[in-house]
Amino acid sequence: MDRQIGRRALLKSALAATAASGLGRYAVGGMRDAFASENAMPTRRLGKTEHEVSTFSLGGVSTMSREGERDAALEIINHALDLGVNYIDTAADYGAGVSETHLGEVMKDRRDEVFLATKAHVYDYDGVMRMCEESLERLQTDYVDLYQHHRVQDIELLDRIAQPDGALPAFERLRDEGVVRHIGITSHTPHVMTEALERHDFECVLITINPAHMVYGTPYNADDLTTFLATAAEKDVGVIAMKVVNNGDILARGLTAEEAIHYALSRQAVSTACLGITEVNQLDENVAAAHTFQQLSEGELEELEQRVQD
């Protein structure tokens, strides 16, 4: 197949037409800007991308990825941007494209407010090129800031994506062409991500970080995570923490969302804690947690771990 992204020019034209028509939801009014300036989110540098990322970021699962929840999803996305959240993460397979579609309805008006991240979950070159084109169409943009390979859980998959006809050469081609600005990788397995950073020039990693050291009921190795975070810091890789409350499991074990967010943000090299949202009030609480953050000591980190692991 033609390995070029032919829709880029078409999308640029469509976006220009939207801007010229004045249909952007916030094209004129200054209310959002005034609100944001008075409630500036704390930010951190997202590794070598140089982006100053909000320390709380919005994940594209939960309400955003549910068919039939369009109005609720758009409310969450717009409210997050109003609060100063400037990083939103989604994926092609969140709700079989529903999350990207909902997000695209906001991006057509507010694209310049967001460092936009999405993911591909296929392992071959041509599959990535097709998937990226489909994601761009759903997101109503002609580029994404961060494109990540999704769920690389073992060394065999890491080997597979690096083959000449694999996913990684496609990611690099898309970056070279400007279709994506930065490339990353995601996993629940810290030692695999350490190896990924030793082998390849990834700029960001999305990885599980919570005090229970669990994901979907399965433990990950805490020492491996510490090693990975040190490697990421050495290589100036932006780390995005996911599964911060582990689908509510951390809350069921007695911690608050604020404590879980503060735990993630206290770990070495972490730039932002990325959580999916079910209701707007959760968004308000998580943004408040970003504002109240103070670095936890090693003793305080251990105390949170003991509380959820006992």
| pLDDT by position in tens, the chain (length 310) | 444 445 444 334 333 333 333 333 333 234 344 444 456 899 999 999 999 999 999 999 999 999 999 999 999 999 999 999 999 999 999 999 999 999 999 999 999 999 999 999 999 999 999 999 999 999 999 999 999 999 999 999 999 999 999 999 999 999 999 999 999 999 999 999 999 999 999 999 999 999 999 999 899 999 999 999 999 999 999 999 999 999 999 999 999 999 999 999 999 999 999 999 999 999 999 999 999 999 999 999 999 999 998 6
CATH number belonging to domain 44-309: 3.20.20.100
Q: How far apart are CA 103 and CA 291, in angstroms?
A: 25
Task: Show Cβ contacts of residue 142 under 8 Å, excluding neighbours closer than 6 positions.
Answer: 7, 8, 11, 12, 15, 136, 179
In which element (H, E) is residue 199 found? helix 190-199
Q: Please tell me the distance from the alpha carbon of residue 142 to that of residue 181, in angstroms, as a whole number.
A: 11
Identify the pLDDT of residue 29: 32
Q: To 10 degrees, what angle do helices 125-139 and 98-110 make?
A: 50
Short-list 152, 241, 234, CA closest to 193: 152
Q: How far is the C-alpha of 41 from the C-alpha of 292, rounded, in Å?
A: 11
Q: What phi and psi values does residue 136 have, to the nearest 5 degrees?
A: -60, -40
Residues with Cβ < 8 Å from 47, sequence gap 6 or more? 203, 204, 232, 236, 237, 238, 239, 269, 271
**If you search the block for the tokens 């689908």, which residue do you land on?**
247
In the chain, domain spans: 44-309
Tell which residue, 103, 204, 201, 124, has the closest CA to residue 167. Answer: 124
307 within 8 A of 296, measured Cβ to Cβ: no
> Cα–Cα distance between 103 and 107 in angstroms, integer?
6
| Amino acid, res. 79 | H
pLDDT of residue 309: 86
Question: Which residue in 204, 96, 101, 103 sits closest to 149, CA to CA?
Answer: 204
Q: Six-digit token pair at 39?
A: 């409630």
